Structure 1
Amino acid sequence: MLKKVQAALLAATAVAGIAVSAAPAQASDCKVAGLPVICEFTVAGWKFDDGVRQEFAISTDTAMYTRWTDGNGNWGGWQSMGGSWTGPAHLGKYQPDSRALDVSARGTDGEMWHNQRSIGGSWSGWWK
């Protein structure tokens, strides 16, 4: 009987550990350019060949946000890209041109989701 109780306690501890590790740590006092972000997740940045810069951050509401510079280097406001993320944004090219950008993040379902920016600047929408 004692072994069954120990096994049940071990299983409950393991499940509790998974549930805690899946939830992002949130700190309401971290802000990047006015956006409340999850401190443990870094802000990802990208510089296009034309000099425009773009940043991606996970806010405390767990949605991804982005902002970018205009032709003079001035930052615009944050725009929501939606979703519910358990980790930081990852960036990479999916074509040789730097304007073809792939943004990915781990969703609450544990899967990696992607949103791709075309050379023309439109976004694909989230897919896995």
Structure 2
Amino acid sequence: MSSGSEVDRPDGAVDDDRSPTARLRRAELRVAHLEGQVEVLQAQIAALEAADEHRRTELADARDEVAEAKAAAREAKARAEERRHLIDELREQLTDARAAGSHEGDGRGTGRGWLARRTRS
């Protein structure tokens, strides 16, 4: 009978845990295990790189959308400013027209200059 650290082999030789053959076998198993871990890590890296590329693409798209939105906002602001100026001008013209209408008049001072001018025609 053999001790706990020895293994009976079919060829009758006793394999000791400290023998070069046993150490080589353990090293081979360790290398195979590490190679498996490397493959898993490489697959994880590839997946992370793909996800990273996808996020970079999404970020670039989002930046493009932001730039477009800012341009649209600037255009809308410019249009609003133009309309404000137009409204101010129209209000001023209306005020001037009302003032001119109240001075022109048909003697009644109705302040309806445009209507009075229209009915006189």
The alignment's TM-score, normalised by the length of structure 2, stands at: 0.29
- Structure in which a larger fraction of residues adopt strand: 1
The alignment's TM-score, normalised by the length of structure 1, stands at: 0.28
Higher-RCO chain (CA-CA 8 Å, sequence separation at least 6) = 1
